A and B are shown apart, each in its own frame.
Chain A
Amino acid sequence: MSSGIEIQLIAIIVALSCVLPGVFLVLRRLSMLVESITHTILLGIVLAFLITHDLNSPFLIIGAALVGVLTSWLTELLSKSRLLSHDACTGVVFTLLFSIAVILLSKFASKVHLCTDAVFMGELAFAPLNRLLVSGYDLGPVALYVSGVILLVNLFIVVLFFKELKLATFDPMLASVLGLSPVVMHYLLMTIVSVTAVGSFQSIGSILVIAFMIGPPVTAYLLTDNLKHMILISAGGAILNSILGYHFAHMLDVSLAGSMSCMIGVSFLLVFIFAPQRGMLSMNRRRRRQKLEFAKSTLLFHLYNHEPRVEREQSIARQLNWSAEFSLLVLQILKKEDKLRISADGVRLSPMGYEQLKQDQQAIFNRL
């Protein structure tokens, strides 16, 4: 396998393992807690590293997972005191743990290989250099195996607990009534988030883990209402972004992870603008259409309300406080639809106008 393919494969596996918990994080509004965890796991990594002096030790993952859960627990603890607002609790916990990590790092780890740049930025390009050798046979890069295992674990947990996670996400009350503790689900989620983040930090760096976790699910959120579809679309998006990002980075000779997260941003932007139902364009179009439809029934109702008085064409704009052009537009449309009769003495409803008005009113008042 060439190193290019290996890099892409690693990126895809990392992206997929980020997306799986990510979908639930977006739906449970925990994005900023994750932003905080992806920073604080540094403390777990540093502590474990100071003990083992080995960047590939599994203790790093255990340490990170513990600190991740600790972050979530401390944030809840502060929040429960009701002395601080919730976002302040997140901010205080995350900056405190992160500062401790940075100080430990610069005091004790500066002479060894764990440099801050590597933790924040990661270096996907170097991932294929560290090979797994079993009695002389080259079995491929270590990172491939590490991220592969994490992906399998995440997949296993999400498939196994799909029902529970779904319930705890959409209806925590019901979940706890049914005996599926939402608290257990919460910490389970936080644990796999921390494990995923620490497994990925060597390749994409701790800050960009959040782009991989939140970006594709948020994008998918604008495209579907179905949880399963959301997971599938996010996964597809994650794969696509990784491949595109790789080639873009290769072309310009820039940071791989950075360019992948740029691709995540670009694909979100495209979906944000062009998505069929929730995109900005279709939303604007719909709002405009609704405004016109609404103006039509407003005008009909207005004329009806003022019966038997007959309104003049010119005075309608003033009465409704519309611009002259807008009221002309609405009048013309209604006339074309034969719902109005415009004569020399003013504007009247036609039989079809009455029919329309009746329908509109029924629709509006029955909703109450």
Chain B
Amino acid sequence: MDASIYSAVEVEDLTVAYNSKPVLWDVDLKIPKGELMAIVGPNGAGKSTLIKVLLGLIKPVSGRYSFPDYQNCSLKELKRHIGYVPQSSSVDWDFPATVFDVVLMGTYGKLGWIKRPGKREYELTRSVIEQVGMSQFMDRQISQLSGGQQQRAFLARALAQEADIYFMDEPFAGVDAMTEKAIVVLLKGLKAQGKTVIAVHHDLQTVAEYFDWVTLLNLKIIASGPVDETFTDTNITQAYRGGLLNSKF
């Protein structure tokens, strides 16, 4: 890997297992700062797990990860610089909340315990909802949204976090073509602001179009780098075939 690239996240020797079944196996990875990176791989390759470890939701068996920009920050401080878009299937959509309420939740991380959202938070919420083009649905209960609209609301919530590094778990899952375009524009906008985006992605056709960097993952890193160098047929077949014993054997 190019040593001159400044990385937003560094992962070293990371191994994660559920009951001794490895999900990630000695992963080393440098995520470049200010790029849009896709994590690609077959089902069960550990893509979501990797994201969840970096967010501190899962404890690894071994290995380390760090955020070089925030090395001297406390964990709490660090989390204020991280945004998260979970899989949309992970929440109860019948919860009594409107789009506005959900997006407002994005500001809670910076607020901390007990403190209430104030004028600044409300304005921020309104502006990010506008950014994702959901202004006319602001007061709608979330179960009455289409899949694409739900995903937009989640994205707006992440924007309201005002983070520097965004982790997105399948932001394009179940969205319509219009929303997909809108999300891509949004991601490019984030990149223009110098933010880092790491997204789990499923559609191999669009990787080159949407992202700059790609990490091919299947238990361990198959390849990681700029899309035009890394996203090659050999690497893809290797990742999806699963036969990844090293050539030495």
Residues of A within 8 A of B (CB): 287, 290-291, 293-295, 298, 301-302, 305, 319-322, 358, 361-362, 364-365, 367-368
Contacts and interface: CB of A to CB of B under 8 A. Distances in A.
B219 A364 contact: yes
Given A290-B19, A365-B242, A368-B242, A298 B44 contact: no
9 contacts: A298-B26, A305-B26, A319-B63, A320-B15, A320-B63, A321-B62, A362-B245, A364-B25, A364-B219
**What 8 pairs between A and B have smallest CB-CB spacing?**
A290-B20, A320-B62, A368-B242, A321-B64, A294-B20, A298-B15, A301-B26, A319-B13
B13 A294 contact: no
With most chain A CB atoms within 10 A of its CB, the pick from B44, B61, B62, B245 is: B62
A322 B128 CA distance: 42
B64 A368 contact: no
Given A298-B61, A365-B219, A319 B12 contact: yes
Contacts of B245: 358, 361-362, 365
A322 B61 CA distance: 8
B226 interface: no
Given A295-B61, A319-B12, A364 B22 contact: yes
A295 B62 contact: yes
Contacts of A368: 42, 44, 218-219, 242
Interface of A is mostly: helix
Contacts of B19: 287, 290
Contacts of B242: 365, 368
A305 to B, nearest CB: 5
A181 B134 CA distance: 46
A365 B62 CA distance: 19
B113 interface: no
Nearest to B27: A305
A362 B249 CA distance: 10
A362 B243 CA distance: 9
Nearest to B243: A365
Contacts of B219: 364-365, 368
Nearest to B241: A368
Contacts of B61: 291, 294-295, 298
B244 interface: yes
Given A365-B244, A368-B242, A321 B26 contact: no
A362 to B, nearest CB: 7
A320 B61 CA distance: 8
Contacts of A293: 20
Interface in B25-40: 25-26, 28
Nearest to A326: B62
B62 A322 contact: yes
Contacts of A302: 13, 26, 62
Contacts of A294: 17, 20, 22, 61
